[in-house]
């Protein structure tokens, strides 16, 4: 589909990210949930989510991620999984594993869960619990084994930062040991809680380069057996990420209270008012919500994006990061070396590289 | 005929690393079976076929779909190619080219981890 064809009609979303709840037992200091959690309540009901799943499929969605927070905190996850599978959606569960029992997992498998992702904070138990702010590591390992024993494809997710970036070999060994078919090693994105903790989380350039080489070696070794992804942090690059593959383009993101976002972090941009599936249909919101139209396509782009050869590649980068760092959500992502604000990224990197910078974590609230 | 696939639903931000080239090239006697994590799905919106797997999807063109439908663990690469030559009977096809297409697509699926090991 060309950009031209998308001007009149909304693009087709392929993936629904369903954040069922912001409740979570873990308190990871890089949590992607909003930093003002107390201001979010009024979760969608089972009936509302069921309706929305149908509306998403009708829009073209083929894959759904049940996530959060901790999606298992919702007692109605089971009927929602059944509903998603009735619709033929490829159904992912993204979980901390913490509240899961083997019986509940077996029940979810029976209802047709296609794939389970379990987050691991570190390969080392004590460090893992220190990062999560909660003692859960041994149980998480057990949960991963149950998933593979039940024959369900497993992704082990790890958010990488200064404290665990030197563990690539151990993390890969753990993923192989529990039988994961996919290992996602994703460096922290510095929005939401992670931005508050940036000095404590930003790695050194040397750490990052070493980790990237190690991950590449394992990726080649495990090709065809385990899919190893290594997602570099944009703070060390020269071009921004193609954040969400473009604003409200391929992904539709619904937060616990029913508002429809282009990504998990967009409520951090106060100028945007997001529409809720409690009031309008998903199709109506996807095609005409002012907040989704705000940065869809290219019309909003300033220079240097507007005339850039990469504008169809990285879509101007991350709007939330642009807002968080410059106060202007329509600015070029400062991660781009062509951004007039790129020095903000360089300064943050230099600051975090100083040995005496304070590195105390602010844990995510509840 | 060409059996190309397009990757349409990608994980944002993954850094593609150099695949180890042709190490997973299948032989004509290889019996491919789609991996458990991958689901072949008819797409009512486009009328075509897709393979859906964790966080990704591939849209298949018509000839790729004919090949993938036969990756069920009961046929060799050579048998899949022969079946496809028979199925498009009447048009001019080069059986050797069809087999090369099947080998290429099956190899690509293997490299993506979409076949049972």
pLDDT of residue A199: 95
CB B12 within 8 A of CB B92: no
Cis peptide leading into residue A18 (ω within 30°): no
pLDDT of residue B3: 53
| CA separation for the pair A23, A73 (Å, rounded) | 7
**Cα B54 from chain centroid?**
17
Confidence of residue B55 (pLDDT cuts 50, 70, 90): confident
* C-beta atoms of A90 and B52 within 8 A: yes
Residue B21 forms contact with A (CB below 8 Å):
no
Residue A225 forms contact with B (CB below 8 Å):
yes
H or E stretch at A118: strand A115-119
Residue B48 forms contact with A (CB below 8 Å):
no
A121 Cβ contact partners less than 8 Å away, ≥ 6 residues apart: A28, A127, A128, A129, A131, A132, A137, A158, A159, A164
What is the total residue count of chain B?
117
* C-beta atoms of A241 and B54 within 8 A: no
- pLDDT tens column, B74-114: 999 999 999 999 988 777 889 999 999 999 999 999 988 89
pLDDT of residue B5: 52
Confidence of residue B21 (pLDDT cuts 50, 70, 90): very low
Interface of A with B in 293-332 (CB under 8 A): none
3-state secondary structure of A76: coil
Confidence of residue B24 (pLDDT cuts 50, 70, 90): low
- How far lies A137's CA from each of A8, A75, A143, A154, in Å? 49, 23, 10, 17
User: Buried b vs exposed e over A34-60: b needs ≥16 C-beta within 10 Å?
Assistant: bbebeebeebbeeeebbbbbbbbbebb
pLDDT of residue B9: 42
Ranges of chain A with pLDDT below 50: 1-7
B34 in the Ramachandran plot: left (φ > 0), alpha (ψ -120 to 50) or beta?
Answer: beta
Architecture label for domain B5-116: Orthogonal Bundle (1.10)
pLDDT of residue A179: 97
Which ipTM value was assigned to this complex?
A: 0.84
| CA separation for the pair A90, A65 (Å, rounded) | 9
Domain boundaries, chain B: 5-116
For testing contact with chain A, the best of B6, B8, B11, B12 (most A CBs within 10 A): B12
């Amino acid at each position: 589909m060309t950009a031209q064809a998308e001007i009149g009609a909304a693009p087709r979303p392929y993936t629904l990210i369903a954040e069922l709840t912001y409740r979570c037992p873990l308190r990871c200091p890089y949590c992607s949930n909003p930093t003002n959690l107390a201001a979010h309540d009024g979760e969608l009901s089972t009936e509302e989510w069921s309706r929305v799943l149908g509306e998403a499929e009708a829009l073209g969605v083929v894959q759904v991620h049940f996530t959060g927070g901790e999606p298992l905190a919702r007692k109605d996850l089971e009927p929602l999984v059944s509903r998603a599978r009735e619709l033929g959606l490829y159904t992912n569960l993204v979980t901390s594993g913490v509240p899961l029992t083997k019986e509940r997992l077996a029940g979810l498998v029976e209802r047709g869960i296609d794939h389970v992702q379990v987050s691991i904070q570190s390969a080392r138990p004590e460090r893992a619990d220190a990062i999560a702010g909660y003692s859960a590591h041994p149980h998480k390992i057990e949960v991963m084994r149950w998933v593979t024993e039940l024959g369900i494809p497993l992704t082990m997710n790890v958010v990488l930062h200064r404290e665990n970036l030197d563990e690539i070999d151990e993390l890969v060994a753990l993923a192989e040991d529990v039988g994961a078919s996919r290992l996602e090693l994703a460096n922290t994105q510095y929005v939401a809680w992670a931005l508050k903790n940036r000095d404590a989380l930003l790695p050194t350039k040397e750490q990052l380069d070493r980790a990237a080489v190690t991950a590449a070696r394992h990726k080649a070794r495990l090709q065809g057996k385990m899919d190893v992804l290594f997602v570099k942090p944009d703070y060390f690059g020269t071009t921004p990420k193609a954040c969400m593959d473009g604003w409200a383009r391929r992904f539709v993101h619904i937060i616990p209270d029913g508002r429809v976002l282009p990504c998990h972090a967009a409520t951090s941009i106060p100028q945007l008012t997001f529409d809720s599936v409690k009031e309008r249909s998903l199709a109506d919101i996807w095609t005409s919500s002012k907040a989704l139209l705000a940065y869809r396509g290219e019309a909003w782009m300033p220079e240097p994006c507007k005339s850039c050869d990469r504008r169809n590649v990285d879509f101007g980068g991350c709007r939330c990061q642009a807002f968080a760092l410059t106060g202007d959500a329509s600015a070029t992502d400062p991660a781009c070396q062509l951004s007039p604000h790129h020095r903000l990224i360089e300064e943050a990197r230099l600051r975090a590289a100083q040995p005496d910078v304070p590195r105390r974590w602010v844990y995510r609230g509840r | 005929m060409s059996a190309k696939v397009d990757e349409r639903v990608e994980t944002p931000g993954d850094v593609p690393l150099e695949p180890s080239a042709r190490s997973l090239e299948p032989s004509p006697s290889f019996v491919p079976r789609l991996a458990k994590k991958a689901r072949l799905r008819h797409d009512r919106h486009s009328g075509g076929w897709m393979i859906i797997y964790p966080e990704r999807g591939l849209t298949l063109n018509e000839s790729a779909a004919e090949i993938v439908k036969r990756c069920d663990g009961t046929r060799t690469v050579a048998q899949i190619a022969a079946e496809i030559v028979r199925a498009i009977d009447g048009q001019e096809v080069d059986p050797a080219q069809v087999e090369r297409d099947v080998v290429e697509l099956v190899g690509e699926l293997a490299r993506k981890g979409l076949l049972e090991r």
